[in-house]
Amino acid sequence: MDATLKVVSISNATIIFDEVKFTTLNNVTNDGIFSSAKTAVTLAIGLIGIMALWLGIMKIAEESGLISKIALLLKPIMTRIFPDVPAEHPAMGAMIMNISANMLGLSNAATPFGLKAMEHLNSLNKKVGTATDAMCTFLVINTSNVQLIPATVIAIRASLGSHNPTEILGAAIVATTVNTIVGVIVVKLLARLKKYKAESVEQRA
């Protein structure tokens, strides 16, 4: 593609064809599509090591009874948020581990716990390939990111010469608490909508 501007003069009028459209298209095909596809695989492969480590640790925590101990502590809250999941189900323990890891900002540990929780939640799923109410609720808690210490942001602020890098902590905690509460309320309300309800029930009958 000729990248220079083409100027065609017809008597007094001048028509300028600029290259902008071609550049945009180029970005879409190269940067957008291929590098994103590669990134996806790199991310997934990179996750394998971390997954293996934490799933191994999690297995120890499970068998030693540590998880069921923590789960027992949070049982009153969890059974209210996840009424479809039996209180003693292993999904509860995995979800609690995931949420606690997220709160501490340990996202490397949170993902493996979260995926384990999804596996347990899926064992309660009566309709293969369709999300259950509990899964949707769990994901909304995850995406709204209950985080007590946003370490990455604090690090960037410090590196850019902030006089008080941690001053945003309070504001971030309030914002994330509010959106988590709103998220849980919204996900519960949406679950009652006919459209979403029908998708989960049709096979149970």
List the x/- string, 29-58, binding to another protein by CB under 8 A. --xxx-xxx-xxx-xxx-xxxxxxx-xxxx
Beta carbons of 119 and 107 less than 8 angstroms apart: no
Least spacing, CB of residue 14 vs another protein, in Å: 26
Residue numbers 69-98 binding another protein by CB under 8 A: none
Residue numbers 91-150 binding another protein by CB under 8 A: 104-106, 108-109, 111-112, 114-115, 118-119, 121-122, 125, 128-131, 135-136, 139-140, 142-145, 147, 149-150
Tokens standing for residue 196: 């979403």
Task: For helices 133-143 and 107-123, give the axis angle rounded to 10 degrees.
Answer: 170
User: Contact between 190 and another protein (CB under 8 A)?
Assistant: yes
Beta carbons of 87 and 74 less than 8 angstroms apart: no
Return the exposure string of 28-55: e unless at least 16 CB atoms fall within 10 Å of the residue's CB, then b.
eeeeeeeeeeeeeeeeeeeeeeebeebe
Tokens standing for residue 92: 């509860």
Which of 77, 165, 194, 201 touches another protein (CB under 8 A)? 165
Stretch that binds another protein, among 9-17, 71-79, 86-94, 194-202 (CB under 8 A): 194-202
User: Contact between 18 and another protein (CB under 8 A)?
Assistant: no
Nearer to another protein, 78 or 112 (CB): 112
Nearer to another protein, 7 or 127 (CB): 127
Task: Please give the C-alpha separations between residue 92 and each of 85, 156, 187, 203, in angstroms, as whole numbers.
Answer: 8, 35, 18, 25
Nearer to another protein, 86 or 143 (CB): 143
